[in-house]
């Protein structure tokens, strides 16, 4: 493990995008060498730290290029943040891009600051692609105005999502809950995330709607505990590792965090607070923890290459003990869904 951190220090001194790409490729080989089921908890933060180092360096290069181009005005405060699995500090090797930018400036400078932010976002997004991070298919990137905004515009947008309570509003709120600062003035993001959780916590109707949202997508496990694999197409015989229980557990913990006003960005921080406050029965909390480790291990082991199909795993490729653990994890995800639905139904009564 120590050699990995020494290697990451070299990564932080990379001088070109080409070097960062080589480090990203090398990360896959190094993780393959150390990946062990019994060590998955200690491996997870190392992989997250490696991604952080790569992304920070790419964003530094993007800022330097934008300053050289003399585009707009750099805001007095600004921060690039990550979301999704990288925001929650549980990325696989070939995670895609999920990021945004928040900035703060005087109203008279906002137009020129937006010019700077849009340029740096375009450059940074392209740099990330060049070093091996695919573009987000849902366009959750700083190049999308939804995720690259002034603090004033961001707060108006969040207020609209909270008052709207529509399925898309809830989806965007779920995404925003994971925002974690990675480059720049971090308090902009941490304070915004804290306000987001507190605002949701005050809205009983919204909490009920978010709780109902946790029931989707359905977990592909039948009444007789038979796994329902893809039947047709290029992924026939495979299961989607994110949709087979992982996302449902992550979202259930997000919902509990909203109910308790826990503004942590990472799943493990949320889980620790939830367990400490006894928001879940202890046996279910422990099973949720084991299930998350199971999903993370299998995703790491089998998602070896970048591409849109990296989340699919052929069932027959899994080892017998992995199938057993995965079925147990799927049952846990279903139990969590039922727990959240019961709790959500009783809110405000």
Are 217 and 157 members of one domain? no
- Whether residue 229 is found in the same domain as residue 176: no
- Give the contacts of 336 (CB within 8 A, at least 6 positions apart): 214, 248, 249, 252, 284, 288
Residues 175 and 270 both lie in one domain: no
List, in order, residues 6 or more apart from 173 with CB less than 8 Å away: 158, 161, 162, 196, 200, 210
Pair of tokens at residue 16: 């070109």
Residue 222 domain boundaries:
209-345
Tell me the three state secondary structure of residue 220: coil
pLDDT 10s digit of each residue in the chain, 349 long?
Answer: 557 788 888 898 999 999 999 999 999 888 888 888 988 998 999 999 999 999 999 999 999 999 999 999 999 999 999 999 999 999 998 899 999 999 999 999 999 999 999 999 999 999 999 999 999 999 999 999 999 999 999 999 999 999 988 899 999 999 999 999 999 999 999 999 999 999 999 999 999 999 999 988 999 998 888 999 999 999 999 999 999 999 999 999 999 999 999 999 999 999 999 999 999 999 999 999 999 999 999 999 987 655 557 789 999 999 999 999 999 999 999 999 999 999 998 775 5
Q: Which of 202, 231, 252 is the last residue of a domain?
A: 202
CA atoms 70, 72, 73, 78: torsion sign: negative
Domain boundary pick from 176, 202, 228: 202
Tokens of 267: 């799943």
Q: Assess whether 165 and 61 both reside in one domain.
A: yes
Q: Residues 198, 214: one domain?
A: no
Among 185, 202, 219, where does a domain finish? 202
Q: Model-level pTM?
A: 0.95
Query: Is residue 184 located within the same domain as residue 50?
Result: yes
| 98/138 same-domain check | yes
Number of structural domains, the chain?
2
**196 and 215 together in one domain:** no
Angle at which helices 110-130 and 40-69 pack, to 10 degrees?
130
Residues 106, 128 within the same domain: yes
What residues are paired with 312 via a beta bridge? 240
The domain that holds 281 is classified in CATH as 1.20.120
Task: Give one DSSP letter per residue of 293-312, joined into a string.
Answer: HHHHHHHHHH--S-STTTTE
Note whether 193 and 276 are same-domain residues. Answer: no
Clarify whether residues 244 and 273 are in a common domain.
yes
Say yes or no: 235 and 331 in one domain: yes
């Amino acid at each position: 493990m120590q050699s990995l951190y020494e290697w990451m220090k070299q990564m932080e001194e990379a001088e070109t995008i080409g070097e960062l790409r080589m480090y990203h490729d090398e990360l896959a080989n190094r993780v393959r060498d150390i990946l062990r089921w019994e060590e998955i908890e200690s491996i997870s933060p190392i992989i997250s730290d490696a991604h952080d180092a790569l992304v920070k360096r790419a964003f530094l290069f993007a800022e330097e290029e934008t300053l050289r181009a003399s585009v707009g005005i750099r805001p007095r405060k600004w921060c690039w943040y990550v979301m999704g699995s990288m925001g929650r500090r549980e990325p696989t090797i070939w995670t895609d891009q999920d990021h945004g930018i928040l900035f703060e400036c005087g109203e008279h400078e906002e137009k020129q600051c937006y010019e700077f932010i849009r340029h740096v976002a375009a450059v940074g997004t392209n740099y990330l692609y060049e070093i091996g991070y695919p573009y987000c298919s849902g366009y959750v990137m700083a190049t999308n105005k939804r995720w690259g905004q002034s603090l004033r515009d961001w707060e108006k947008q969040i207020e609209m999502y909270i008052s709207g309570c529509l399925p898309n509003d809830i989806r965007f709120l779920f995404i925003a809950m994971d925002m974690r600062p990675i480059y720049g003035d971090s308090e902009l993001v941490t304070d915004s995330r804290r306000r987001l959780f507190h605002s949701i916590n005050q809205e009983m109707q919204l909490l009920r709607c978010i709780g109902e949202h946790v029931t989707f997508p359905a977990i592909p496990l039948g009444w007789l505990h038979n796994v329902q694999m893809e039947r047709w197409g290029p992924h026939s015989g495979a299961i989607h590792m994110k949709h087979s229980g992982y996302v449902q557990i992550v979202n259930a913990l997000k919902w509990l965090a909203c109910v308790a006003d826990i503004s942590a960005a990472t799943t493990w921080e949320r889980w620790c607070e939830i367990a400490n406050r006894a928001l879940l029965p202890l046996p279910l909390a422990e099973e949720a923890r084991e299930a998350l480790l199971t999903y993370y291990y299998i995703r790491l082991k089998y998602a070896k290459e970048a591409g849109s199909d990296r989340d699919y795993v052929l069932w027959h490729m899994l080892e017998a003990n992995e199938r057993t653990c995965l079925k147990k994890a799927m049952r846990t995800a279903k139990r969590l869904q039922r727990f959240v639905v019961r709790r959500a139904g009783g809110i405000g009564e």
